[in-house]
Chains A and B, each alone.
Chain A
Amino acid sequence: MNPANYLYVSAMLFTIGAIGVVVRRNAIVVFMCIELMLNAANLAFVTFARINGNLDGQVMAFFTMVVAACEVVVGLAIIVTIYRSRRSASVDDASLLRR
């Protein structure tokens, strides 16, 4: 089977994640969509590793996972903090940047 098929799947997953980030308002769902994009990128890394026959892509995917884990931890902590003060998990409510 042509491993490029994995790349198509990766591209489509990434696109779906991008739409989700823009369209969804629940901060947790937005975060899940970001995770989806990161995972799509990881799939592409793994596939490239296979195509090129070295493990650098896999190492890169490993690093991406660690970064994603960090991001989730901090991001969710931020969501909790915002929820605690605003009683809302909607990203539109936290639009203080304008004022």
Chain B
Amino acid sequence: MTSNALVYLIALPLFGAAVLMLAGRRADRRGHILATVLSGGSFLLGLYEFSQMLSRSSENRAVTQKLFSWISVGSFKVDAGLMLDQLSISFVLLITGVGTLIHIYSIAYMSHDLDRRRFFAYLNLFVAAMLLLVLGDSYLNLYVGWEGVGLASYLLIGFWNQKPTYATAAKKAFVANRVGDLGLSLAIMVAFATLGTVSFSGVKENAGQASTAALTAIGILLLVAATGKSAQLPLQAWLGDAMAGPTPVSALIHAATMVTAGVYLITRSNFIFDAAPIAQLAVAIIGAITLLFGAIIGAAKDDIKKALAASTTSQIGYMVLGAGLGPAGYAFAIMHLLAHGFFKAGLFLGAGSVMHGMNNEVNMRRYGGLRKFMPITFATFGAGYLSILGVPPFAGFYSKDRIIEAAFNAGGVRGVLLGSAALLGAAITAFYMTRVVVMTFAGKARWEEEVHPHESPALMWLPMVLIAFGSTFSGFLFTRGDALRNWLAPVVEPVAAREQELLSPALVSILALLLVVVGAGLAVMKYLRQDVPVVAPEDVSIFTRVARRDLLQDDFNEAVFMRPGQHLTYALVDIDEVIIDGAVRGVGRMATGSAGALRTTQTGFVRSYAMWILLGAIGLIAAIWMVTL
């Protein structure tokens, strides 16, 4: 199936970005409305495409569109083409749906910002790039979108770049992403070198003929790319700082969509990982470690957005773990991704709403008892909270428990370890999320005199409510008759259910719920029964201190990469100055010296030049004389 309409999915928001950026101040008054309408138009178009897909049979649902022949060098041919299949449409709807809601939310949230137009231009740019990422029909096209979202993320993290720390945070995100991008570009190169093509369909066809080693290399490189974009170990450090951006950005880019691009990449490349077990195991291990890592950091953060950011890292860890479990987990990873898109966006929008009512205060120790002042925010936040905890029937329950279950059933010691990590993560998640909710909405008021908390305007809470519906009901809809699994089946080819299961689904759910109750209970004991000090206590255990320092991830990066890099750079500067510059200057001095010597022959007197001509003539005559001798 081909279609000519796919490009408009991307073109609409891209047009908005172009108009808003090129029109300048003239677009200040109406620009945000244009951006929102265009984003909404893209969503409606996505819905239309979705309905068209539903009307077709399962094998004929994928739609492609060739835009133009992009690169044609020898045997290397890449068309700029788009492909919309069951996996892509899930993302398209998430991106444009949540994206449009967040556009609406931002109209109110950013209403006092002088640069609101620029903000919406970047948001539209992001939506366009993200759509290109999920619609590209080859790794190279995906790469363009991949870089585009990186750029949009950089611009939006540093949106308030008048603050040096925010600009630094943007740079940090950019650099960390660049490491991952290098992995992706190398993966594309290896894929072309070994498989001769970079299109998804081509790679899928040729993957069978390639050696396992090559596929493992591609898989590991793709994993590096995914860790960079999705803030997984060891490239996770940028996400916490990325909270410098405006809160809608955190909700859209750094929770719901962009950071899940790594999961998309792994799922999209399932044919590679399925053929490379080592790479697949690496994916699962990275996911398991990261979900614990993020959860522990989340439990130590007092900044509400940073706590949520750590939670994002942790939740994406679940998705990566799911994707690393192979055909058993792809569908659940995507399901968790979609559910997470809803509940995390809802949580972030809730956090933004709280900050909006609290003079941009982000320290949870300065909150407390806000449920009376912000009932709608509390309700929507609560829906997200229950969902992330995995309380039935909220969305997280359906997706997260399935991932835990799939991990346990991965077989052998591996399954037990991965499953236990996922279970433990669920408990810690319950602890830190309860801590956030309790510190924010319950207990005594701890804010300062001049702060007057109030509910946010309708333009803000309406999207929150809509998203809260998503976090409440989406899981139920996805699992109704295994809807999402069957939907994605043509793309990820699920295996038949295992014969023997280590733990039954019911048992896993009960275990998870028990642990959740324990975790939540601990948090209630610590933060509701006791008073929360306004200033974070210093006499805490070494573990808390390490967790507050993001489990030393920045220190690690600094000690292992930055300092040696700095020293290397200094050394290179010295080498450059002494050896390279020395050589260059030496050549220069040689030229100057020889030129100075030759210069003396240039007297400017015509007669001396004539003399040289005469001497030359003598040389010629002498040569003839000798030859004829």
Whether A98 and B607, one on each chain, are in contact in the complex, defined by CB atoms closer than 8 angstroms, is: no
Q: Does A52 interact with chain B (Cβ within 8 Å)?
A: no
Specify which of A21, A22, A25, A99 is in contact with B604 (CB 8 Å cutoff): A99
Whether A22 and B603, one on each chain, are in contact in the complex, defined by CB atoms closer than 8 angstroms, is: no
Q: Does B503 interact with chain A (Cβ within 8 Å)?
A: no
Q: List chain A residues, Cβ under 8 A from B603.
A: 95, 98
Q: Does B628 interact with chain A (Cβ within 8 Å)?
A: no
Specify which of B602, B605, B607 is in contact with A21 (CB 8 Å cutoff): B607
Whether B602 and A94, one on each chain, are in contact in the complex, defined by CB atoms closer than 8 angstroms, is: no
Q: List chain A residues, Cβ under 8 A from B605.
A: 91-92, 95
Q: Tell me the dominant secondary structure on chain B's binding face.
A: helix
Inter-chain CA distance A23–B614, complex, in Å, is 12
Of residues 57 through 99 on chain A, the ones whose CB sits less than 8 Å from some CB of chain B are 91-92, 94-99
Give the distance to chain B from A80, nearest Cβ to Cβ, in Å.
Answer: 17
The number of chain A residues touching the other chain, given as a range, is 10 to 19
Q: Does B535 interact with chain A (Cβ within 8 Å)?
A: no
Whether A25 and B607, one on each chain, are in contact in the complex, defined by CB atoms closer than 8 angstroms, is: yes
Whether B614 and A94, one on each chain, are in contact in the complex, defined by CB atoms closer than 8 angstroms, is: no
Give the distance to chain B from A74, nearest Cβ to Cβ, in Å.
Answer: 16
Residue of A21, A25, A94 most packed against chain B (CB within 10 A): A21
Q: Does B606 interact with chain A (Cβ within 8 Å)?
A: yes
- Binary per-residue interface labels of chain B (596-614) against chain A in the complex, 1 for a CB within 8 Å, 0 otherwise: 0000001111110011001
Q: List chain B residues, Cβ under 8 A from A23.
A: 607
Q: Does A18 interact with chain B (Cβ within 8 Å)?
A: yes
Of residues 1 through 45 on chain A, the ones whose CB sits less than 8 Å from some CB of chain B are 18, 21-23, 25, 30
Given A18-B614, A22-B614, A91-B607 contact (CB < 8 Å)? yes
Inter-chain CA distance A96–B603, complex, in Å, is 10
Whether B602 and A22, one on each chain, are in contact in the complex, defined by CB atoms closer than 8 angstroms, is: no
Inter-chain CA distance A25–B617, complex, in Å, is 21
**B609 and chain A: residue at smallest CB distance:** A97
The number of chain B residues touching the other chain, given as a range, is 10 to 19
Of residues 580 through 627 on chain B, the ones whose CB sits less than 8 Å from some CB of chain A are 602-607, 610-611, 614, 617
Given A22-B611, A22-B614, A98-B606 contact (CB < 8 Å)? no
Inter-chain CA distance A95–B602, complex, in Å, is 10
Inter-chain CA distance A97–B603, complex, in Å, is 8
Q: List chain A residues, Cβ under 8 A from B602.
A: 97-98
Q: List chain A residues, Cβ under 8 A from B606.
A: 91, 94-95, 97
Whether A92 and B607, one on each chain, are in contact in the complex, defined by CB atoms closer than 8 angstroms, is: yes
Q: List chain B residues, Cβ under 8 A from A30.
A: 607
Inter-chain CA distance A18–B610, complex, in Å, is 9
Give the distance to chain A from B10, nearest Cβ to Cβ, in Å.
Answer: 64
Give the distance to chain A from B328, nearest Cβ to Cβ, in Å.
Answer: 86
Give the distance to chain A from B595, nearest Cβ to Cβ, in Å.
Answer: 14
Give the distance to chain A from B75, nearest Cβ to Cβ, in Å.
Answer: 58
**A33 and chain B: residue at smallest CB distance:** B610
Give the distance to chain A from B596, nearest Cβ to Cβ, in Å.
Answer: 14
Give the distance to chain A from B618, nearest Cβ to Cβ, in Å.
Answer: 10
Q: List chain B residues, Cβ under 8 A from A96.
A: 604
Inter-chain CA distance A94–B605, complex, in Å, is 8
Q: List chain B residues, Cβ under 8 A from A21.
A: 607, 610, 614
Give the distance to chain B from A12, nearest Cβ to Cβ, in Å.
Answer: 14
**A95 and chain B: residue at smallest CB distance:** B604
Q: List chain B residues, Cβ under 8 A from A99.
A: 604
Inter-chain CA distance A94–B602, complex, in Å, is 14
Inter-chain CA distance A97–B599, complex, in Å, is 12
Give the distance to chain A from B103, nearest Cβ to Cβ, in Å.
Answer: 70
Give the distance to chain B from A71, nearest Cβ to Cβ, in Å.
Answer: 15
**B599 and chain A: residue at smallest CB distance:** A98
**A23 and chain B: residue at smallest CB distance:** B607
Give the distance to chain B from A32, nearest Cβ to Cβ, in Å.
Answer: 14
Q: List chain A residues, Cβ under 8 A from B610.
A: 21-22
Q: List chain A residues, Cβ under 8 A from B611.
A: 22
Inter-chain CA distance A92–B604, complex, in Å, is 8
**A25 and chain B: residue at smallest CB distance:** B607
**B612 and chain A: residue at smallest CB distance:** A22
Inter-chain CA distance A13–B402, complex, in Å, is 111
Q: List chain B residues, Cβ under 8 A from A22.
A: 607, 610-611, 614
Give the distance to chain B from A4, nearest Cβ to Cβ, in Å.
Answer: 16
Give the distance to chain A from B612, nearest Cβ to Cβ, in Å.
Answer: 10
Inter-chain CA distance A22–B605, complex, in Å, is 10
Binding site for B on A (CB under 8 A): 18, 21-23, 25, 30, 91-92, 94-99
Q: Known contacts A94-B606, A97-B602, A98-B602; can you find 4 more A-B pairs with CB under 8 A?
A: A21-B610, A22-B611, A22-B614, A92-B605
In the A-B complex, list the 9 residue pairs whose CB atoms are closest, starting with the nearest: A98-B604, A95-B604, A97-B604, A91-B606, A22-B611, A21-B610, A95-B605, A22-B610, A22-B607
